[in-house]
Amino acid sequence: MDVRKIWEEGKEQYKKRRAKKRRRKAKSEPDIFDYYQILGITRDYTIQEIKAQYRKLMLKYHPDRNKTKSAEAKCKKINEAYEVLSDPDKKARYDEYGVIS
């Protein structure tokens, strides 16, 4: 067999595996930018209820307690959502405009 042909076939298989892995990851963990959805709450929750839900999620997903690969990423999203929704000014801006930069 020609070495170049083997090389090309190997490259194609590698590309297919990478594409399949990316598709699988995209299906399993979609990017959620809705802070309410990340915390599993609705817009009418009080600051105290938001804090309680945040603590509940952190106990579940904190990397020290949850050893899964995705725990750290989930924890970061939860922290980001909590940072915005626990501050009345940021929450009002988020509710009005949808994003905080």
Return the pLDDT at 56: 97
Return the pLDDT at 29: 54
State the DSSP string of 16-57: HHHHHHHHHHHHHS-----HHHHHT--TT--HHHHHHHHHHH
The SS3 of residue 2 is coil
Return the pLDDT at 31: 56
pTM assigned to the model:
0.65
Residue 91's H or E segment, with its range, is helix 88-97
C-beta separation of 62 from 75 below 8 A: yes
Task: Report, at the CATH architecture level, how domain 31-101 is classified.
Answer: Orthogonal Bundle (1.10)
Q: pLDDT truncated to tens, each residue of the chain (101 aa)?
A: 677 877 788 888 888 887 787 777 656 555 557 999 999 999 999 999 999 999 999 999 998 998 888 888 899 999 999 999 999 999 999 998 876 65
Domain ranges for the chain, please list them: 1-29, 31-101
